[in-house]
Structure 1
Amino acid sequence: MFFRKALLSDLEEMQKLFAETIQSVCKSDYNSEQIKVWVSGAKNKERWLDVINTQFIELAIIDNKIVGFGTLKNENYIDLLFIHKDFQRQAIADKIINKLEFEAKKNHSKFITSDVSITAKPFFEKKGYIVKAEQKNILKGVEIINYKMKKVLF
């Protein structure tokens, strides 16, 4: 496994990984309607182009395949952190989040935040993030719960 920055040519593979991970990994925490609405975000091309053009993105690659990615927005907000459904529990997320936190520290950020799914919450807690608020988001008329989490960087 190696890591590299994302390119525009990676966008389609990232969107596919995003959708497939949600559909597979998050199905025990969210119902089918919630997953359908959440996954529809993969089709928002403007949002994904903005991610590629404005965020720090770390890709994890195995055999020329993206197996995970994380993004840092505004130097201290983890916007996206997704690991391929077939590569869960292999410390990929741990390595990516460490790289995102290092980048935030490099930018002199005192803390890092993220809006975290029910599924990802235990992982973030193990990494030292604290729940600041439970959030009830309404997307296309469907309520999706996530958590505002924060970690102080030393």
Structure 2
Amino acid sequence: MSKITIRPATTHDARWLLKLYQQTIRTVNRKDYNKIQVNCWAPLDMEIEVFERYIDLKQPFVATDGERIVGYSDVQPDGLIDHFYCHHKSQGQGVGRALMNVIHEKANEMALPKLYSFVSITAKPFYLHFGFDIVRENEANVRGVGLKNLLMEKEIG
């Protein structure tokens, strides 16, 4: 993998973010969630407009390896990390670390006291590695199906 760079997402990235989102959930998260949960979480018929709105509202940033998007994330004004996804073929290659470093930089710029996220069972070890603590177990309702996740947070300020 060549050097990972981070840049703001644009609406032109929506199709790639949607595809990355679906592929990651359907491959990486599949080990911790059943087929019904995965299909509700990342339906194949999800409209591109969902990700265009996400980009407009949440202002995510993308990790690229040359021209290819290999991950994306965001951090919101209250410290919420809403999305954090790395391409299934780029796991363990520094993409997540690069994204988490940018999250921490932005959190410091915004003088946030803490970061928090509703983390999948799959991502729990990654967040623990970066100093997040488990606050509580959570059950999200996604298109009528329950998905267990964890509310995790990290004091930073």
Which TM-score band applies after superposition, normalised by the shorter structure?
Answer: over 0.9
Correspondence 1:5-154 to 2 at 5 A = 5-40=8-43, 43=46, 45=48, 47-154=50-157
Q: Is the 1:6–1:57 Cα contact (8 Å) retained in structure 2? A: yes
CA distance in 1, matches of 2:5, 2:96: 13
CA distance in 2, matches of 1:98, 1:67: 15
Aligned length: 154
Q: Is the 2:15–2:48 Cα contact (8 Å) retained in structure 1? A: no
CA distance in 1, matches of 2:44, 2:77: 20
Percent sequence identity over aligned pairs:
27
CA distance in 2, matches of 1:53, 1:74: 14
CA deviations 1:57-109 (Å, max 9, x no partner) are 22111131100111112251100010001111011101101101210110110
Q: Is the 1:111–1:152 Cα contact (8 Å) retained in structure 2? A: yes
Letter in 1 for 2:109: K
Letter in 1 for 2:40: V
Q: CA RMSD in A?
A: 1.7
CA distance in 1, matches of 2:26, 2:117: 21
Which secondary structure state, in structure 2, belongs to the residue aligned with residue 43 of structure 1?
coil
CA distance in 2, matches of 1:27, 1:37: 12
Which secondary structure state, in structure 1, belongs to the residue aligned with residue 112 of structure 2?
coil
TM-score normalized by the length of structure 2: 0.91
Which aligned segments of 4 or more residues in structure 1 are displaced greater than 6 angstroms? none
CA distance in 2, matches of 1:143, 1:27: 15
Which secondary structure state, in structure 2, belongs to the residue aligned with residue 150 of structure 1?
strand
Q: Is the 1:111–1:150 Cα contact (8 Å) retained in structure 2? A: yes
Deviation at 1:49, TM superposition (A): 2.9
Letter in 1 for 2:74: T
Tell me: CA distance 1:42–1:134, structure 2 relative to 1, closer, same or farther (3 Å): farther
Gaps of 5+ in 2: none
Gaps of 5+ in 1: none
TM-score normalized by the length of structure 1: 0.92
CA distance in 1, matches of 2:53, 2:113: 25
